[in-house]
Amino acid sequence: MDVNQVLDAKGLACPMPIVRTKKAMDILESGQVLEVQATDKGALADLTAWSAAAGHTLLEHKEEADVLTFYIQKG
């Protein structure tokens, strides 16, 4: 997958993963992809819901060794 930017939000507690994700997305162009790495378990439900509400597409997410990784395409 073509990733345009990677955001390391590991170790951050809610709401910071989403706050940082939003800031990063604001700078990207439509169609570009942001990879977000987070360890806060709540990020899964929240990033999924936020992406949909903000008009972005959550392309994929995975969980490996307690790290959640998301690929979000800017809408």
Closer residue to other proteins in complex, CB, 3/14: 14
Across the beta sheet with 67-73, the strand order is 5-9, 33-38, 67-73, 57-64
Q: What span, in angstroms and rounded, lies between the C-alpha atoms of 34 and 43?
A: 15
| CA–CA gap between residue 56 and residue 54 (Å, rounded) | 6
Selected catalytic residue, list 3, 6, 13, 14? 14
* 27 or 49: CB nearest other proteins: 49
Active site residue 14: yes
Binding site for other proteins (CB under 8 A): 13-16, 18-19, 22, 41-42, 45-46, 49-50, 53
> Which residues have a catalytic role annotated?
14
